[in-house]
Amino acid sequence: MKSTLTQKIPSLNISHLQLKQQGTSLLSLNEEVKGGEVLTIMGPSGSGKSTLLNWLVGMLPSDFTATGELYLNGQDITNTASHLRHIGLLYQDPLLFPHLTVAGNIAFAMPKGDKQTRQDEISEALNQVGLAGMEKRCPQQLSGGQQARVALLRVLLSKPKAILLDEPFSKLDSQLRQETRQLVFEQIQRYSLPAVMVTHDQSDALAAQGKVITLDTVSLNEVAS
């Protein structure tokens, strides 16, 4: 039913989710995010934002319990192992792998394939985000903004079906924040990916131009706009 209805349209559907911590209700959510849209989750510390992301990627800590279902492009992935979900994650820290070069970090994320084709794809992607010729650099040699762009490329080139953003711009300064934010949202629309963003920052929420949900510390959510 639901799965057949939404099969063709990229979407992430959080259906009747109830998250509990040691029996106490933490949050309830029932939302659908369409491809290219960004659902923003705001709220104070302890309101369950990170727990929600952990549930979405299938890594809910053992002291939490959840009921409800998660559909990705119409497919029920509630009980799918986290590495088989095809949900990309972008953190506030770029978390680039220090033992790999810039190209290595991106190649790590790409599906298997012809070596030359992959290299060409990496060069083209780097070129598009203003990092042409930086393939052989170590992540430590890049600035914060450059690292953030490589982290974004790494997620996008892994060909995810949805993307989660965990305070992705909070460690960038104001100018860089705007640029990176614009780039990320452009790419989300370009690839038509459903996205869920957790943030403390009102300006991130406004820039996302999507639905904003503000969680409170008690339990249920409140729709802000």
CA distance 202 to 28: 22
Please name the helix (run of DSSP H) or strand (run of DSSP E) that holds residue 78, with its range, or none. Answer: none
What's the min distance (Å) between Cβ of 123 and other proteins? 15
- Beta carbons of 188 and 17 less than 8 angstroms apart: no
* Site for other proteins contains 137 (CB under 8 A): no
CA distance 187 to 184: 5
Dihedral of CA 216/54/191/15: which sign? negative
Question: By CB under 8 A, which span of 23-31, 32-40, 82-90, 200-208 interacts with other proteins?
Answer: 82-90
Dihedral of CA 146/151/152/158: which sign? positive
CA distance 126 to 97: 17
* Site for other proteins contains 158 (CB under 8 A): yes
Residue 203's DSSP bridge partners are none
- Rule CB under 8 A: choose which of 2, 67, 108, 220 binds other proteins: 108
The C-alpha angle 89, 184, 13, rounded to 5 degrees, equals: 55
Please name the helix (run of DSSP H) or strand (run of DSSP E) that holds residue 192, with its range, or none. Answer: none
- Rule CB under 8 A: choose which of 60, 110, 138, 176 binds other proteins: 110
Given the complex with other proteins, which of 38 and 164 has the nearer CB atom? 164
* Site for other proteins contains 52 (CB under 8 A): no
* Site for other proteins contains 45 (CB under 8 A): no
Say how many residues touch other proteins, by CB under 8 A.
Answer: 33
Question: By CB under 8 A, which span of 13-21, 67-75, 95-103, 172-180 interacts with other proteins?
Answer: 95-103
Given the complex with other proteins, which of 47 and 105 has the nearer CB atom? 105
Q: Which residues of the chain form contacts with other proteins (CB under 8 A)? A: 57, 59, 62, 81-89, 91, 93, 95, 97-100, 104, 107-113, 118, 154-155, 158, 160, 164
